[in-house]
Every structure is written in C-alpha cells, then in structure tokens.
Amino acid sequence: MDRPSIRHGMVLLTALAILTTPFFGCQSVLLTAMYLIKGTDIEPEYKGLKAKKVAVVCRPLVSLEYRNANVGRDLAKEINRLLQERVPKIKTVDDRKVAQWLDENTWDEYVEVGRAMKADMIVGVDLENFSILEGQTLYQGKANASIRLYDCKTGEVVFEKTLPRSVYPPNVPIPASDRTEPAFRREFVRVLADQIARHFYAHDPYADMAMDARALDK
C-alpha cells in the first residue's frame, strides 16, 4: 500500500474515532486516534547529530578481541549504517576509512580519531563484555557497553550513557542447531547496534518487546 493510501486510511480511522467518542469514552478513543496518526516513536535522548559529520568507533576490551575478533569494527559499521539511514542530513565517515586509520595509528582518546577524520562529532563505544554462547548447545547474546559522544572541536563530552546489559534473546536461548555461530553473532551485533544508535534518532520504545519471538522466527 502506498503512503497516500495509508494516510487516507488513517484520516478515515481518526474521523471514525471522533464520531464514536460518545459511545466508547473520550480518552481511550482519542489516544487511539493519536497513535494512528503519530505512531509510537519517541524522540531521541540526543538530537544534535542532524547535519553533522560524524565518525563512529567501538573499542572492546583487549580480552574481547581474542575471543571475538573484529566485533568492535562490526559493531561500529552497523551503528554507522543506522545513523546514516535515520538521522536527518547526517554525514557519517566511511567505516573503512576509520578502520584503516585505526590500523595505521596509535591513539588513546576518541577525539584524536574524530579530528583525524575531520569529523564534527565522534561516537565512542566502550564494549566491556560480549558473548554469544549459553553453555555448549545454546545461543544467547550478552553485552555491556557505554556511549560517549564528543564534540571534536572542543574535546568535550556532550552526551554519555551506560547501557543496561543487553541480552538477546532476553528470555529464551536459541538452540545452536537452529543456525550457525557466525549467523547468530551477526544477528546479535545488529540488535546491539540498534540499542546503541537509537539514542540519536526517533524510535519505537516497544521494539524490544517481541524480541524472543523475532529471534526464534529467523
């Protein structure tokens, strides 16, 4: 269905909601009408990436690099993609360019990388834990991460957040026989990237509620 048809349908449903208000109660019907028009998206915690040039770097603990090679780069790449798709007018630095610079240079602070990329802002992700195995026969991704957003010109932290522990699927581990380990790892990286990147764009706060069902349905 195209967008005009969807919009027309929403208008009709809203009109119906208003007409039936005396029968079903004002508050509940009007809330339903608002949902049909606006959806459930909420504003991001930080809105300042619009029209900015932004680099993304993920720094895992050294021990994670041995157990999960390239997880930092894979996560940064996915965050970069989500920001490019969902933040208006943003310009993200190519993740391959960032990765090459990281390979060729020694650095301590995220701002150093951002300035080398001539970025306005840099999203720095500290990945403190990342695992995908629950015992020998089950998959369940678990990760701990924190975000810091820097203004590359001033070097100041303009936004920071320590995320709750990410668990995917949250309640029901997946049998290892259902998919390969690399496939599940990519799946969990996408989930974790969205949980990080959504701090910078409007998103559905209820998106994670059906995560168990979605994981089993892959």
Distance between CA atoms of 86 and 81, rounded to whole angstroms?
Answer: 9
For residues 97 and 79, is the Cβ–Cβ distance under 8 A? Answer: no
Distance between CA atoms of 66 and 63, rounded to whole angstroms?
Answer: 6
Q: Are strands 138-151 and 157-162 parallel, antiparallel or unpaired?
A: antiparallel
Q: What pLDDT was estimated at residue 69?
A: 73
Mean pLDDT computed over 60-88:
87
Model confidence pLDDT, tens digit, residues 189-213: 999 999 999 999 998 887 777 666 6
Kindly give the residue spans of alpha helices, DSSP state H, lying in the chain: 3-19, 21-24, 26-38, 62-67, 71-86, 95-104, 110-116, 181-197, 211-216
Q: Peptide bond before 60: cis, by omega within 30 degrees of 0?
A: no
- CA dist 98 → 3, 103, 105, 106, 210 (Å): 37, 9, 11, 13, 34
User: Which residues touch 36 (CB under 8 Å, ≥6 apart)?
Assistant: 10, 13, 14, 17
Nearest to 164 by CA among 213, 199, 134, 214: 199
Model confidence pLDDT, tens digit, residues 12-62: 444 444 444 454 445 444 444 444 445 688 999 999 999 999 999 999 986
Q: What pLDDT was estimated at residue 52?
A: 98
Q: What pLDDT was estimated at residue 206?
A: 79
Mean pLDDT computed over 174-185:
94
DSSP state letters, 151-209: ETTT--EEEEEEPPPEEESSS-PEEGGGS-HHHHHHHHHHHHHHHHHGGGS-B-TTTTT
Q: pLDDT tier at 1 (50, 70, 90 boundaries)?
A: very low
Model confidence pLDDT, tens digit, residues 89-133: 999 999 999 999 999 999 999 999 999 999 999 999 999 999 999
Model confidence pLDDT, tens digit, residues 129-162: 999 999 889 999 999 999 999 999 999 999 999 9
